[in-house]
C-alpha cells in the first residue's frame, strides 16, 4: 500500500480556514449521490443488511464502515474508496472499542470507581493506539449515560449515577481517545453516546421509553455530554429510545437546540444502529422516506446502517422536501473530520503495525495498574485482608474464577480472543509454592439468552448443565473448599449478564451462587469473596457473613494479577463506588442525590418508605475501604458569605491514621437549603484521590464557583444561581459527616 504513515513523519495541522476551504472544494466536485453517501454508514459484518459494501463504496455511496475488524480488508475497501469512487473520499472505519482493543482495561463502570480521571484517560489512549494500528479511525465511546437504575444492563458501560463524576470521566475518556490533535496517528475519534437520557429507561428495561423533565435532563443527564463537547469530542451518537415521546434520533431539541446552538458542537452525529429506519417501528415516522426526512431535519448527520438515507434523500431533494444545501450541511462536518485526521494524505494502515503495537509491555502494565486502581474493598472484618503470603492450601471456587470472558467483561471488539489472566491464574502465580485448588461450582447463565451471545459465538451455544450435573459441581466445590485452609470465592455475573439487552429485574447473585457461598461458609474457614460483575449486586447475606469482600468488577486482561496484588497486600485498594448498591432490585432506581420529602429525614411517622425493608443502600455512593484508616478534619470555608456569581474555597485536612500507605478519595458534597426549586439532599461537587503515608496529612482545597452552584430551575425555566444557605459535607463517601455551611447573598 502507498501512503502509509511512516514513523517520524510530520503531523498535519490544518487550520480551520484551510479545512473549510478543502471541504468546500470537495463539495463542489461531489455529486448529490456522493454527498448523501457521506451520510451513510455501511455495515461490514455478515449480519449487516443493505447492498454489498464494495458496491456502495465504489459509487461513492458510503462515508463510513462499521462492524468490521480486519486490517487487510480495511485497506482493500479504502483502496476502492480512494482509487475507484468518483471523488476518492476516504472512508472512516468505526467500531465499538469500549475498554480496550487487544489489551483489555476494566469496564468503564470500574474505571469510574478509580475516582481518578488519569485511569480512563491513560487506558483509552492505549485502546486508541491499538485500535488505530489495526486500521480503525473512530470508536463508539465513551458511553456517557448516567445510570441510577442498577437493573439497566448498560450501567456497566458508563460512569455510574452521578453527573459530576460522570462529567470528569467523560472528559478524561475523550482526551484519552483523541488526544489534543486529531491528526495524531495513535488516536481515534471519540463518540459521545447515547444522546440523551438512555440510562433512565422505564423500569431499567433496555430500550424502553424515557420520561425526564427538562430539569432532570439538564441537571443530571446532560452534564457528561456537555463535558465531552468542552473536551473537544468529534462525534455524537443519538440514542435509540423515545425521550419524552420524541425518539432521540429525530429529536430537534437535543440535536439542534442543545447540542449545536447551546453547546456549539461542530462535529457530526451518527444514529445508533438502524435507528433512523426504526423511527417507523417506533411509531414516529410514516414510512422509511418520512424517517429519513425527520432524521435529517432534526440534525442527524449519519445513518448507521438502516439505509434510509441513501434510499430516500435524493428523491426528497428532487421533490423539494429537502434542499441540497441541507444535505451539504450534514456532510460538511464529516468531510472536515476526514481532512483534520489527515485521511486524504494517509488513508491506509500499515498491516504489520498492530502486532508491534500490542506487544508494547507498557500496555499490559497499564491494564494492571488501571485494574488495581478500580477495585473497591467493600468489607474487611477482623483485618482478614491482606492475606498472608505463606498460605499453603487455598481453594479458589466459583463459576467466574477461571473465566477469561468474565474477567475481561462485556463489549469486546469483533473477533476478539479472550486472553485475560483469571483470578485463579493470578492467585496461582502469586502462591507458587502452595497448593491452589479450583472448582467452578454450578454454571450460571441467563434465563433468557442474549442475542449478542449468539452473534459473538457464531450463533452456537453450549448446552445447559442438567440439574444433576449442577448438583455434582456444587458438591465438588464444597469438597474442594473443605480441603483448604482458606477459600477465595469468585462470584458475580458473566460478561453477558450486563451490557446491551442485559437488564434484569433482580440484583441477586444469579443461579446457585449464594447457596454455594452459604455452604462453603458453613465449613468455618476464612473466606474472601471476590465479585466480578458489571452492575451493583444486592449481596446482602455476604455483606453480613463474609468477612472480606472485594468488588473487582470486570477488570480486564490483567484482572487476575490485580486481584492477587490487592488480596496479598502489594497494592492497597483505594477505589470507591460510582453507584449506590441497592438491597433489592425493586429498590431501583436508588441514588444518593434524591430530594427531601415533606417529612423530616428519619421521621418515624412517615418512614420507612417501604414496610418490607429499608430502601437504604447496602453500600452508598462513594464508599470504599482501605487497609489503612483516614481522618478528615479542619474543614474550612474561605468566607461565610459570598455574592451571587462569586466563588469560595473549601479546604480540609486528610490524615492517614493507620499503619500502611494508602489512597483516600476526599469528596465534597453540597446542599442548597431553599430556592426556586427543591435541590437534592446532597450533590457531589468536588473530589480528589490522594496517596498518604502512615501519619501523613494533606490539605485538599476545593473550588466552588458559579458552575458548581448553579442549576437548571423548573420554576424559572433556566439556569440560575440563587441567594440561599448551603450545607457542605466533606469526607470519604456520600454519608460524610464533617459539616460546614455558607451563604450566597444577592
Q: How many angstroms separate the CA atoms of 276 and 291, rounded?
A: 6
Q: How many angstroms separate the CA atoms of 509 and 531, rounded?
A: 10
The cell for 37 is: 453517501
* Residue keyed to cell 489503612: 628
- Is 272 considered catalytic here? yes
Cβ neighbourhood burial of 414 (10 Å; 0-12, 13-18, 19+): middle
3-state secondary structure string across 331-352: HHHHHHHHHHHCCCCCCCCCCC
Q: Write phi, then psi, for 210 (nearest 5 degrees).
A: -125, 135
Q: How many angstroms separate the CA atoms of 411 and 500, rounded?
A: 9
Q: Nearest to ligand BGC by Cβ — which residue?
A: 140
Cβ neighbourhood burial of 640 (10 Å; 0-12, 13-18, 19+): exposed
Q: Which residues does residue 667 pair with via DSSP β-bridges, in sequence order?
A: 687, 731
Q: Give min distance, CB of 232 to ligand BGC, in A.
A: 20
Contact residues toward ligand BGC (CB under 6 A) are 96, 140, 193, 272-273, 500
Q: Which residue's CB is nearer to ligand BGC, number 13 or number 451?
A: 451
Given a contact cutoff of 8 angstroms between Cβ atoms, the answer to whether 64 and 302 are in contact is yes
Given a contact cutoff of 8 angstroms between Cβ atoms, the answer to whether 111 and 144 are in contact is no
Q: In 320-345, which positions are buried (b, 16+ CB within 10 angstroms) versus exposed (e)? A: ebbeeeebbebbbbbbbbbbbbbbbe
* DSSP of 631-674: EEEEEEES-SEEETT--EEEEEEEEE-SSS-EEEEEEEEEEE-S
Q: Give min distance, CB of 68 to ligand BGC, in A.
A: 11
Q: Give min distance, CB of 270 to ligand BGC, in A.
A: 9
Q: How many angstroms separate the CA atoms of 365 and 362, rounded?
A: 5
Q: Give min distance, CB of 73 to ligand BGC, in A.
A: 17
Q: Give min distance, CB of 191 to ligand BGC, in A.
A: 8
Q: Which residue's CB is nearer to ligand BGC, number 49 or number 718?
A: 49
User: 648-656 and 630-637 as β-strands: parallel, antiparallel, unpaired?
Assistant: antiparallel
Q: Give min distance, CB of 279 to ligand BGC, in A.
A: 16
Q: Which residue's CB is nearer to ligand BGC, number 272 or number 683?
A: 272
3-state secondary structure string across 456-514: HCCCCCCCCCCHHHHHHHHHHHHHHHHCCCEEEEEEECCHHHCCCCCCCCCCCCCCCHH
Q: Give min distance, CB of 193 to ligand BGC, in A.
A: 6
Q: Which residue's CB is nearer to ligand BGC, number 141 or number 560?
A: 141
Q: How many angstroms separate the CA atoms of 435 and 417, rounded?
A: 29
Q: Which residue's CB is nearer to ligand BGC, number 192 or number 539?
A: 192
Q: Which residue's CB is nearer to ligand BGC, number 47 or number 611?
A: 47
* Residue keyed to cell 480540609: 652
Q: How many angstroms separate the CA atoms of 234 and 252, rounded?
A: 19
Given a contact cutoff of 8 angstroms between Cβ atoms, the answer to whether 139 and 128 are in contact is yes
Selecting among 149, 162, 272, 303, the annotated active-site residue is 272
At a CB cut-off of 8 Å and minimum separation 6, what does 84 contact?
58
Q: Which residue's CB is nearer to ligand BGC, number 271 or number 533?
A: 271
Q: Give min distance, CB of 500 to ligand BGC, in A.
A: 5
Q: How many angstroms separate the CA atoms of 53 and 62, rounded?
A: 8
Q: Which residue's CB is nearer to ligand BGC, number 202 or number 485?
A: 202
Q: Which residue's CB is nearer to ligand BGC, number 273 or number 375?
A: 273
User: 242-243 and 138-139 as β-strands: parallel, antiparallel, unpaired?
Assistant: unpaired
Q: How many angstroms separate the CA atoms of 727 and 85, rounded?
A: 63
Cβ neighbourhood burial of 117 (10 Å; 0-12, 13-18, 19+): buried
Given a contact cutoff of 8 angstroms between Cβ atoms, the answer to whether 346 and 183 are in contact is no
Q: Which residue's CB is nearer to ligand BGC, number 69 or number 346?
A: 69
Distances from the Cα of 24 to the Cα of 57, 325, 593, 632, angstroms: 21, 12, 48, 59
Q: Give min distance, CB of 379 to ligand BGC, in A.
A: 34
Q: Give min distance, CB of 304 to ligand BGC, in A.
A: 7
Q: Which residue's CB is nearer to ligand BGC, number 42 or number 567?
A: 42
Residues labelled as active-site residues: 272
Amino acid at each position: 500500500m502507498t501512503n502509509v504513515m511512516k514513523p517520524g513523519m510530520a503531523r498535519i495541522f490544518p487550520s480551520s480556514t484551510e479545512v473549510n476551504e478543502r471541504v468546500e472544494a470537495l463539495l463542489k466536485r461531489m455529486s448529490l449521490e456522493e454527498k448523501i453517501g457521506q451520510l451513510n454508514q455501511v455495515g461490514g459484518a455478515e449480519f449487516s443488511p443493505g447492498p454489498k459494501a464494495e458496491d456502495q463504496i465504489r459509487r461513492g455511496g458510503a462515508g463510513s464502515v462499521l462492524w468490521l475488524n480486519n486490517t487487510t480488508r480495511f485497506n482493500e475497501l479504502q483502496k476502492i474508496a480512494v482509487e475507484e469512487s468518483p471523488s476518492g473520499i476516504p472512508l472512516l472505519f468505526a467500531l465499538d472499542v469500549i475498554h480496550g482493543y487487544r489489551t483489555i482495561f476494566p469496564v468503564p463502570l470500574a474505571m469510574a470507581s478509580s475516582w481518578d480521571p488519569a485511569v480512563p484517560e491513560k487506558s483509552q489512549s492505549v485502546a486508541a493506539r491499538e485500535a488505530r494500528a489495526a486500521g480503525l479511525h473512530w470508536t463508539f465511546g465513551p458511553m456517557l449515560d448516567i445510570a441510577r437504575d442498577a437493573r439497566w444492563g448498560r450501567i456497566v458501560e458508563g460512569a455510574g449515577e452521578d453527573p459530576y463524576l460522570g462529567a470528569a470521566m467523560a472528559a478524561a475518556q475523550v482526551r484519552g481517545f483523541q488526544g489534543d490533535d486529531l491528526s495524531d496517528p495513535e488516536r481515534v475519534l471519540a463518540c459521545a453516546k447515547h444522546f440523551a437520557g438512555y440510562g433512565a429507561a422505564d423500569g431499567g428495561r433496555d430500550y424502553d421509553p424515557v420520561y425526564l423533565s427538562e430539569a432532570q435532563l439538564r441537571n443530571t443527564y446532560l452534564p457528561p455530554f456537555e463535558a465531552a463537547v468542552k473536551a473537544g469530542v468529534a462525534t455524537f451518537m443519538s440514542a435509540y429510545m423515545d425521550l419524552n415521546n420524541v425518539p432521540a434520533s429525530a429529536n430537534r431539541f437535543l440535536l439542534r437546540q442543545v447540542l449545536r446552538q447551546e453547546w456549539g458542537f461542530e462535529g457530526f452525529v451518527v444514529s445508533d444502529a438502524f435507528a433512523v429506519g426504526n423511527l417507523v417501528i417506533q411509531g414516529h415516522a410514516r414510512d422509511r422516506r418520512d424517517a429519513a426526512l425527520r432524521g435529517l431535519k432534526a440534525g442527524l448527520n449519519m445513518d448507521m446502517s438502516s439505509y434510509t438515507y441513501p434510499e430516500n434523500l435524493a428523491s426528497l431533494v428532487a421533490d423539494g422536501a429537502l434542499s441540497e444545501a441541507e444535505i451539504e450541511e450534514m456532510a460538511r462536518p464529516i468531510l472536515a473530520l476526514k481532512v483534520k485526521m489527515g485521511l486524504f494524505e494517509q488513508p491506509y494502515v500499515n498491516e504489520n503495525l498492530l502486532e508491534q503495537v500490542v506487544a508494547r509491555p507498557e500496555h499490559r502494565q497499564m491494564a494492571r495498574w488501571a485494574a488495581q486502581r478500580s477495585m473497591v474493598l467493600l468489607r474487611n472484618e477482623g483485618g482478614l485482608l491482606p492475606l498472608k503470603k505463606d498460605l499453603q492450601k487455598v481453594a479458589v471456587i466459583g463459576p467466574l474464577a477461571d473465566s477469561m470472558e468474565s474477567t475481561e467483561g462485556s463489549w469486546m471488539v469483533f473477533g476478539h480472543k479472550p486472553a485475560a489472566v483469571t483470578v485463579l491464574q493470578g492467585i496461582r502465580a502469586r502462591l507458587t509454592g502452595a497448593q491452589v485448588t479450583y472448582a467452578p461450582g454450578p454454571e450460571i447463565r441467563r434465563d433468557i439468552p442474549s442475542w449478542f451471545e449468539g452473534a459473538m459465538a457464531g450463533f452456537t451455544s453450549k448446552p445447559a448443565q442438567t440439574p444433576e450435573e449442577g448438583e455434582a459441581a456444587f458438591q465438588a466445590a464444597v469438597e474442594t473448599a473443605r480441603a483448604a485452609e482458606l477459600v477465595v470465592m469468585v462470584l458475580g455475573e458473566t460478561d453477558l449478564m450486563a451490557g446491551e439487552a442485559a437488564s434484569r429485574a433482580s440484583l441477586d447473585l444469579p443461579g446457585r451462587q449464594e447457596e454455594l457461598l452459604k455452604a462453603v461458609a458453613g465449613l468455618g474457614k476464612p473466606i474472601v469473596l471476590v465479585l466480578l460483575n458489571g452492575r451493583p449486586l444486592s449481596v446482602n447475606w455476604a455483606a453480613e457473613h463474609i468477612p472480606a469482600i472485594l468488588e473487582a468488577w470486570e477488570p480486564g486482561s490483567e484482572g487476575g494479577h490485580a486481584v492477587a496484588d490487592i488480596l496479598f497486600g502489594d497494592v492497597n485498594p483505594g477505589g470507591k463506588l460510582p453507584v449506590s448498591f441497592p438491597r433489592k432490585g425493586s429498590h431501583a432506581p436508588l441514588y444518593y442525590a434524591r430530594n427531601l420529602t415533606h417529612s423530616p429525614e428519619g421521621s418515624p411517622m412517615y418512614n420507612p418508605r417501604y414496610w418490607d425493608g429499608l430502601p437504604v443502600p447496602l453500600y452508598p455512593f462513594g464508599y470504599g475501604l482501605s487497609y489503612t484508616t483516614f481522618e478528615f478534619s479542619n474543614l474550612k470555608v474561605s468566607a461565610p458569605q459570598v455574592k451571587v456569581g462569586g466563588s469560595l474555597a473549601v479546604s480540609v485536612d486528610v490524615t492517614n491514621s493507620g499503619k500502611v500507605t494508602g489512597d483516600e478519595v476526599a469528596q465534597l458534597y453540597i446542599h442548597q437549603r431553599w430556592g426556586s426549586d427543591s435541590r437534592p439532599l446532597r450533590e457531589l461537587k468536588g473530589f480528589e484521590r490522594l496517596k498518604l503515608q502512615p501519619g501523613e496529612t494533606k490539605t485538599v482545597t476545593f473550588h466552588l464557583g458559579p458552575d458548581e452552584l448553579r442549576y437548571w430551575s423548573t420554576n424559572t425555566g433556566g439556569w440560575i444561581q440563587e441567594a440561599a444557605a448551603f450545607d457542605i459535607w466533606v469526607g470519604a463517601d456520600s454519608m460524610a459527616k464533617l459539616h460546614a455551611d455558607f451563604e450566597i447573598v444577592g
